[in-house]
Structure 1
């Protein structure tokens, strides 16, 4: 039985790539590791931010959809992203930094049993900084050119929150199919870990009845979880199919291979391989500085570039 080693990446919707680029690079201090396009719709940017190389478990990705309207919050959605920082001192650093940059944030509190600081990006995407207690993503690499000091840099993804009508259905998918461990449960919340006692594979599931979320700018499209290679991806594809979920089948995204499915509440999961990674078509020093296209789109480069609005650096 293979184990899911944690999160791979998480994908969101932004209305404005330039504003998004400023916030995640200049305010959060992440590295923009890839500027590419949505492979299913090359008219829109697909931006990735993460550590020095965009290691699995550190990647935040955004599709730019300029007509995107407001997100109407509701249930059956991924509703918050946890980002790991090294210490409680880091939370105080970030609280001060958020005040300096006018970032909407709360007070230092706790979230899923971790010291925490909730905040939102300019489009209302809900995030929370969590103290990792040394539990950074194991292969996280320092980005030396970040504006954030190394001792306070974001070290990858932590708890990801999902809000659903049928908590037990999602719980069953996570535990029975993927082998997650349920580490706590109350009447309206349960916490699951892909590797026990490691927060970088943690999923917090909250119960909420009512209308489903209507996605827009600042909403979360899907969570991708990690597998090591093609053989493991094939194993999970069979598990998904046997469970009765409809799967996209394996899709070659060039930077990794993936499959997609929706669980019983409609939450979209991606299962993605660790490699080959973002250095397959670029060197480490210049990652994210130009538009990269997968080989099957390269012959359309001129057309694609003409349709994209330049990102303000």
Structure 2
């Protein structure tokens, strides 16, 4: 059986690409590694932020939907994203930085048994900075031009929180199908890790009854988990179907290959290959500086660019 090495990326909804761009680049200090479009609906931006090259495990991605409404929070949703920082000193740095920029945040606390600092982005997306204690995605690369000092830079994704009505159904999918290890359990929270002892593949599952979340700006669309290559992806496609889940089949996203399925609570998972990555159509020095399109959309570039509102820098 193949092993899931951790998260690949996570995708959210934003109403305003310019506001989103300012927050994730200039407040959080991430690199914008790709400006592209939703391949299923090229009228909307698809923005990716991460480390120097947008390595798997560091990528935060956003679809811009200008007419989207607010999020009505509830259950059966991905409800918080953990971001790794190097030390407890980093939490104090970030607390001061978030205060400087007027970002809503908590006091320094703990989350999934790690020192942590909860905060929200301008659209109410819930995030938490988690001390990694040296754990980070092995291929994470410093972004030298970040506005955040190297010793406090975000080092990729940590715990991802999923809130569901049927906790044991999701637990079964994670452990029995994907081979995650259960780390801890209470009546209303279970923590799983794809690699035991490593927070960069951690999923925190919380139990909550009640109405399902109604997604909108600041909501999380799906979580993508990593596989090395198409051979592994084909293996997981068979596992997904064997367990009775409907699969999208393997989809070529140009920057990686993927498949999508919803587990029993309706949570959308993507399984995505590590490569070829964002440098397939750009060099490292200029990643994310212009609109990149996959080859099958290139002939529509003029039409697509005309329909996109330029992203403003401020």
**Which category describes the TM-score, using the shorter chain as reference length?**
over 0.9
Partner of 1:309: 309
**Is 2:63 aligned against 1:75?**
no
What's 2:217 paired with? 217
Unaligned runs of 5+ in 2: none
Q: What is residue 262 of structure 1 aligned with on the other side?
A: 262
| Counterpart mapping for 1:99-248 below 5 A | 99-248=99-248
Distance in 1 (alpha carbons) for counterparts of 2:135 and 2:31: 20
SS at match of 1:82: strand
> How far apart in 2 are the matches of 1:9 and 1:304?
25
For 1:34, what is the secondary structure of its paired residue? strand
Partner of 1:13: 13
How far apart, CA to CA, are the structure 2 residues paired with 1:150 and 1:160? Answer: 24
After TM superposition, the score normalised by the length of structure 1 is 1.00
- 1:253 corresponds in structure 2 to 253
Shift of 1:136: 1.1
SS in 1 for 2:172: helix
In structure 1, the residue matched to 2:275 is 275
TM-align CA RMSD: 0.2
Instruction: After TM superposition, give the deviation of residue 167 of structure 1 in Å.
Output: 0.2
Find the aligned partners of 1:160 and 1:130 in 2 and give their Cα distance: 11
SS in 2 for 1:215: coil
Deviation at 1:8, TM superposition (A): 0.1
Aligned equivalents of 2:83, 2:123: Cα separation in 1: 17
Partner of 1:55: 55
1:77-92 superposed matches below 5 A? 77-92=77-92
Secondary structure at the aligned position of 2:146 is classed as: coil
**1:264 aligns to what SS in structure 2?**
coil
Shift in Å, 1:137: 1.1
Which structure 1 residue ranges, 5 or more long, are not aligned? none
Report the counterpart of residue 64 of structure 2 in structure 1. 64
Q: Render the CA deviation track for 1:93-140: whole Å, top value 9, x for unaligned.
A: 000000000000000000000000000000000000000000011110
SS of 2:68's partner is coil
User: Could you tell me which residue of structure 2 aligns to residue 26 of structure 1?
Assistant: 26
Q: TM-score, normalised by structure 2?
A: 1.00
Q: 1:26 & 1:268 partners in 2: Cα distance?
A: 30
Q: 1:246-298 CA distances to partner (integer Å, 9 max, x unpaired)?
A: 00000000000000000000000000000000000000000000000000000
| Distance in 2 separating the partners of 1:196 and 1:4 | 11
The Cα of 1:148 is off from its aligned counterpart by 0.1
